[in-house]
Structure 1
């Protein structure tokens, strides 16, 4: 008698990973002391530049032969590129203002 093993649906698998990541992220960020919260968020904004690389790939790289990929993929890639760019530049501005607070004033 054969034993059939069914694989988990990829959508359910990815959704469960996403939910676990949300819980882990929530508890990691909220367990940080308030003094370190702003630098943590600034580094998180800088790390999000990886999204820009993925968005550039979705927008500009030819996926199959001479085809540029589906229109919806390029559209979502463009939107991700815009949002990630805003996030990165905003993170750098917040970091710059935060570091300016700790600069000694000249008398």
Structure 2
């Protein structure tokens, strides 16, 4: 294994540890807005998938680019869906018109 692989693996493990520590310190009331924003930022992975596809020279890299783009797109769409549902919880309920208001049965 090369030195570059060890370096990349060490960066990956350290980022996991730092991410876990940061997430564990955030109050639960802020988890959803923070994660939905992080999922929107995750669109960078879509760009990375395009870069992989542009540099692809074999079917393996094409498959990797497709999977990366698919999962990143699902993650971004899920982040926006969670945000929409979360913000929908803060809307006032719509008033239902009564049948008496419509001039129906009295």
TM-score bracket, shorter-length normalisation = 0.7 to 0.9
Structure 2 residues without counterparts, runs of 5 or longer: 96-106
**What TM-score do you get using the length of structure 2 for normalisation?**
0.81
The count of residues paired between Structure 1 and Structure 2 equals: 94
- Structure 2 matches for 1:1-107, cutoff 5 A? 9-59=3-53, 61=54, 63=55, 69-107=57-95
User: What's the CA shift string for 1:58-102, capped at 9, x where partnerless?
Assistant: 22x2x3xxxx52221111000111111111111111100000001
**Aligned-residue CA RMSD in angstroms?**
1.5
Radius of gyration: which is bigger? Answer: 2
**What TM-score do you get using the length of structure 1 for normalisation?**
0.81
Q: Distance in 1 between the 2:7 and 2:52 partners?
A: 23
TM superposition shift of 1:103: 1.2
Structure 1 residues without counterparts, runs of 5 or longer: 1-7
User: What's the CA shift string for 1:17-69, capped at 9, x where partnerless?
Assistant: 1111000000001100111011111011111110001112222x2x3xxxx52
